[in-house]
Structure 1
Amino acid sequence: MKKTFQIALLLLAVTLAFTACGPTKTVVNGGSTRNHFVGTFTVTNVTYEGLVQGSVSSVFDQAPPQDFVGSTWQLTNSGNGIYTLNSGASQTIYWSLNDDNQTFQFKKIYQGDKAKNVTAGYQLVISANNASSFILKTPVSIGNSTGFVVYNFVRK
C-alpha cells in the first residue's frame, strides 16, 4: 500500500512538472516569439507602401518617418522600453504583442505614468521577424484605402 502511494505521488509530480511549463506562444505565421523582439534594435530603413514618400508628416506624434532611420530601440522582456532618435530625443515606452491581430503595440510613458493607466498608444502590423530583425508597418488611411509606413529593425 505504501509503495503504491509513493508511485502515485511520483507520477503526479512528473505530470505536474510536464504540464506546468507550456510551449512558447507564437505569433505571425507560427514562427515568431516575444523573445525575437527583446533586445536592442536599430531602424535601418523607412519605406512607404501605397503612399508617396514624404506624404506623412509625423509618426507616433513625434517626428517625420525619416527621422526614425538610425533610431535605437531597447526592448526588455518585461515590456519596458525606450527609443532614441538621432537628434537625441528619447521616449520611454511600454510594449506588447497582440496575438489576435498580429501587431506590435506600444504606449508612450511619461514621468509619473503607470502603463496600466495609459490608454492611448500605437499599433504596428508585424510584417516579418526572426531572431535578428523584424519589419513593422504603421497603417495610414488615405481615402478609402490604407497605405503603410514600413520600418526595418535590425538587432545590434
Structure 2
Amino acid sequence: MTDHDLQQIVSDISEQVFRKPFQHQAYFNKRLRTTGGRYLLQSHNIEINPKAFEQYGLEEIEGIIRHELCHYHLHIEGKGYQHRDADFRMLLKKTNAPRFCSNLDQGKRRSISKRYTYVCVKCGTKYHRKIRMNTARYRCSKCLGQLNLKS
C-alpha cells in the first residue's frame, strides 16, 4: 500500500463515517515504533505506522484511521480532542473507533537485565540492584557494615 492509497482510504472513511471532508495529508511514517498512528496538531496531517498494516492488515489500519480522524475533526471544530476529553470519548463510541491499537512489539524480546544482590556482613540485610556498584564506596544503611556481592 502506498501513501496515495492511504490518502484515499482516509478521505473515504472521513466522508462515510464522519460525513466531513479530510482536507490534509495522510501518509506512512516508518519512524513510529509503538503507536499505530499520530495526528499532528500543527499541520493537521495524520501519520500511520506501516508495521500495523504489515502485521494486522487493512481492518486494523481502518480502526487507527477512525481514531486519528476523531482527533482531527474535534481539533478542527475546537472541541476536546485529547484522550481524556468527554467529546473525544463520545465520538470514539459513536464512530466505533478503537481506543488503542493492537500491540506492535510482537516478536521482539526484551532483554532481561541482570540483577545484583548485596548482603551486609554484620546484619545480613539484602539489597537488590539493577546496576552493579562499588562495594568499597557503599555501606549498609542500617548498621554501616560492609556489603558483599551475593553470587
Q: Could you tell me the TM-score, scaled by structure 2's length?
A: 0.25
Q: Which one has more relative contact order, counting CA pairs under 8 Å at least 6 apart? A: 1
Structure with max Cα Rg: 2
Structure with greater strand share of residues: 1
TM-score (normalizing by structure 1): 0.25
